[in-house]
Amino acid sequence: MTPNDQFTKADPTEQFHTDDFPDGPIEHPGLTRDLITHPDHGEESYRGSGRLLGKRAIVTGGDSGIGRATAIAFAREGADVVLAHLPEEEDDARETSRWIADAGRRAVAVPTDLQEEAHCDSLIARAVGELGGLDILVNNAAYQMTLDDGLESLTTEQLLRTFRTNVFAMFWLCRAALTHLAPGSTIINTTSIQATDPSPQLIDYAATKAAIVNFTKALAQQVAGRGIRVNAVAPGPIWTPLIPATMPTDKAESFGQETPTGRAGQPAEVAPAYVFFASQESSYVTGEVMAVTGGELMPS
């Protein structure tokens, strides 16, 4: 079955369904090539219509998973894209850049660790310098690691890494970006179903995702008068390299089966939410969270 066939199927419980998830873990942070079942990023299925023509975007965590799918969609909608990725994810970033170039847009891959404030400031400056400005900031990079034995097994090192990557970097990037964002610009943060329905094994990660919802709503009100919109996408279980790189084998193998649709989602199914928030189609929407969860409910 081809990706296009997947998207034309009417039954969402059958679309993208697979039983071929890996039977073992992969090394963190996880590369796409290490997966037995590769995620669908919309490489063959996403069709653009010029909704972001001439826009300049940053996508953090843009090398793989949701970030790659979003970067591909943005490029096919007409945007140039700066990808932030960890240095060890260079192979995936190169592949994402190739898809952006194939769409006729400019790709700039920036290896960096956003745990450092200076690196966040540098990323914004690099994007503005390379692209001549900035219109869209997607805060998508994240760190998670499953806990084996409850809160007692949560080290301070992991706690700090999770919050620095997921929350502090978002604050630093938004603060630096606001200097360059003109009216009509957008910020899109990535939260999660974990923000309202936390898994005990992901207690630190879930807490960061709840913080992202709160931050999104507060910043949206703070900058609305400047013509800048701030929204968030809340994915449910989406199949990316991060899953087998951070979860026990049994959890990875059954990933997404608890949803009403009975399966994990694919990055290609999440990317359109980012396109909507980045485009003028959502010009009267700010401070909102869009759930893409396979039917798992989030409080409105």
pLDDT at residue number 299? 80
Q: In the chain, what percentage of residues exceed pLDDT 90?
A: 74
pLDDT, tens digit, 9 for 90 and up, residues 253-282: 666 568 888 888 899 999 999 999 999 999
**Closest C-alpha to 236, from 159, 164, 290:** 290
Q: How confident is the model at residue 148 (pLDDT cuts 50, 70, 90)?
A: confident
List the catalytic residues: 205
pLDDT at residue number 124? 98
Classify strands 186-190 and 229-235 as parallel, antiparallel or unpaired.
parallel
- 62, 96 Cβ separation under 8 angstroms: yes
Two tokens, residue 100: 């952006």
- 21, 253 Cβ separation under 8 angstroms: yes
- Whether 199 maps to a domain, the answer reads yes
Round to whole Å and give the CA distance between 276 and 45.
17
Two tokens, residue 148: 């084996």
Q: Per DSSP, what are the bridge partners of residue 164?
A: none
Q: State the burial class of residue 262 (Cβ atoms within 10 Å of its Cβ: 0-12, 13-18, 19+).
A: middle
Q: How far is CA 81 from the centre of its chain?
A: 14
Round to whole Å and give the CA distance between 46 and 76.
8
- Whether 294 maps to a domain, the answer reads no
pLDDT at residue number 268? 94
pLDDT at residue number 11? 82
Q: In the chain, what percentage of residues exceed pLDDT 70?
A: 85
**Closest C-alpha to 230, from 189, 273, 187:** 187
Q: Which amino acid is present at 129?
A: G
pLDDT, tens digit, 9 for 90 and up, residues 35-87: 667 788 999 999 999 999 999 999 999 999 999 999 999 999 999 999 999 99
B/e letters for 221-260, b = 16+ CB within 10 Å, e = fewer, are eebeeeebbbbbbbbbbbbbbbbbbbbeeeebbebbeebe
- Over range 152-175, report the average pLDDT: 98
- Over range 176-193, report the average pLDDT: 98
pLDDT at residue number 282? 98
pLDDT at residue number 7? 53
- Whether 247 maps to a domain, the answer reads no
- Whether 183 maps to a domain, the answer reads yes
Q: How confident is the model at residue 195 (pLDDT cuts 50, 70, 90)?
A: very high
Round to whole Å and give the CA distance between 119 and 91.
21
- Whether 136 maps to a domain, the answer reads yes
- Whether 69 maps to a domain, the answer reads yes
- Over range 217-230, report the average pLDDT: 98
Tally of residues, the chain:
300
pLDDT at residue number 10? 72
**Whole-number average pLDDT of the chain:** 90
pLDDT at residue number 260? 85
Query: First vs last Cα of the chain: how many Å apart?
Result: 36
Q: Residue 191 half-sphere exposure, CB side, CA atoms within 13 Å?
A: 28
Q: Is the pLDDT of residue 141 over 60?
A: yes
Domain count, the chain: 1
Q: In Å, how far are 72, 105, 236 from 185, measured between CA atoms?
A: 19, 19, 26
- Whether 244 maps to a domain, the answer reads no
The CATH code of the domain that includes 110 is 3.40.50.720
Q: How confident is the model at residue 24 (pLDDT cuts 50, 70, 90)?
A: low
Domain that holds residue 193: 50-236+270-288
- Whether 9 maps to a domain, the answer reads no
pLDDT at residue number 3? 46
Q: Is the pLDDT of residue 1 over 50?
A: no
Two tokens, residue 103: 């769409």
- Over range 100-125, report the average pLDDT: 98
- 38, 31 Cβ separation under 8 angstroms: no
Q: Is the pLDDT of residue 117 over 70?
A: yes
- 195, 212 Cβ separation under 8 angstroms: yes
pTM of the model: 0.90
